[in-house]
């Protein structure tokens, strides 16, 4: 699956678990480390874990598994690296502190919303 489609699927997975403020950052013109960041916010550490577990389960069904995962020990920021797409699931305070959107402000940024998910169904 190409990285753009994978990023969209991962964003949809975050939405399905009621994640908030979901963004897809297109980094292809800025770096060769990865193509996209998918960033979402959860309201509790339990929700961070639920989103990450759901992504792991659902991507396994489409033969896309994270190459690397970090953050399961404290659940303030879980990173799931799919090589060409990196998913970041934050608690609100951690997201504000690390400010990935600000660090990568030159990226093309797409907001993902519930309305968009409902249109696809």
The model's pTM: 0.92
- What's the token pair of residue 117? 């998910």
pLDDT tens digits along 6-45: 999 999 999 999 999 999 999 999 999 999 999 999 999 9
Nearest residue to 22 via CA among 33, 34, 37: 37
For residue range 68-112, what is the model confidence (pLDDT) as tens digits?
A: 999 999 999 999 999 999 999 999 999 999 999 999 999 999 999
Question: What would the CATH number be for the domain defined by 3-112?
Answer: 3.30.460.10
Q: Label residue 49 exposed, middle or buried (CB < 10 Å: 0-12, 13-18, 19+).
A: middle
């Amino acid at each position: 699956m190409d990285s753009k489609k994978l990023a969209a699927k991962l964003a949809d997975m975050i939405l399905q678990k009621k994640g908030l403020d979901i963004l897809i950052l297109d980094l292809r013109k800025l770096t060769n480390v990865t193509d996209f960041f998918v960033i979402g916010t959860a309201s509790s550490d339990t929700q961070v874990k639920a989103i990450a577990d759901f992504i792991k389960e659902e991507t396994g069904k489409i033969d896309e598994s994270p190459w690397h995962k970090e953050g399961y020990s404290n659940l303030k920021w879980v990173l799931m690296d799919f090589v060409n797409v990196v998913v970041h699931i934050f608690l609100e305070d951690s997201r504000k502190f690390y400010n990935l959107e600000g660090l990568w402000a030159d990226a093309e940024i797409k907001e993902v919303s519930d309305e968009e998910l409902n249109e696809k169904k």
